[in-house]
Structure 1
Amino acid sequence: MSGKGKKLQPRFVGPYKVVQRVGNVAYKLELPPSLSRMPNVFHVSMLKKYHPDLSHILQLESIEIDETLTYEEKPVKLLDRKVKKLRNKRIPLVKVLWRNHGQEEATWEVEEAIRGKYPDLFANQESSAVYGTEN
């Protein structure tokens, strides 16, 4: 999958059933109708053997995939705050938990950008919050 927010997109989606081996290094997969615009033959380097574990599966129904086969990440909540100190600058950062991702995948983002794009996240936050600092 491509597009904005590429680092947060899942590395693998599925699992999908292998229908047929195509040549020495490619396989044809049985994809759901929602992915009908995507080619269904993949090189082995793009595939990974699936070992059953329900925590690995992203439900496609919960992800809104657009016509370019991408989706927009949306934040769920703010986990933490800190200020990055540079020589003559202080940059407020917030740790954001994203929808369809666990806490270990939360990312540090510039507070001003997140506040501008998702002001509702800050509705319950105090405007005069005390910030930690990064060493």
Structure 2
Amino acid sequence: MTPFEALYGRRCRTPLCWYESGENVILGPEIVQETTEKIKMIREKMKASQSRQKSYHDRRKKDLEFQEGDHVFLRVTSTTGVGRALKSKKLTSRFIGPYQILERIGKVAYRIALPPSLSNLHDVFHVSQLRKYIADPSHVIETDDIQVKDNLTVESAPLRIEGREVKKLRNKEIASVKVIWGGPAGENATW
């Protein structure tokens, strides 16, 4: 008996013949008994396989739970509305935040303290839209060193020249220099 027949209780409609040429067809109550035995055996094997795969999954999977006062990142997707609330669509990060959890609603929903810029969003999110924020002191940028001009730009000056290269492109030679720039966010290198 095929898995299709066990699941749907009928044979698959196909132009191929179900029985080989030399096989005898059993008629009467014997075929009913044989079919029910095969269905039971197939269902037991399918259930054993499903439970084995579930145990593999459950061994490595742990449900996410947060406490009140924890900080989380919020996933940016167009379905949650977070993607629509942001001004720029290009090169947006996948997660924004961190935001503080105010309360737990049910088993898998949390109320989050959102900033005024995201006030058009509902403040309750499913746990699948959240990611735990692990506090790191290096995430904080000190604002004392940053000097912002009136037009909201920041100056960065070259610190040193790191290397030189000459690339050949057909009949041309192109010289490039690697410059280390220093600014408020740290050192950046450009060619």
TM value normalised by structure 2: 0.31
More helix by share: 2
Larger radius of gyration: 2
TM value normalised by structure 1: 0.40
Point out which structure has higher relative CO (alpha carbons under 8 A, 6+ apart): 1
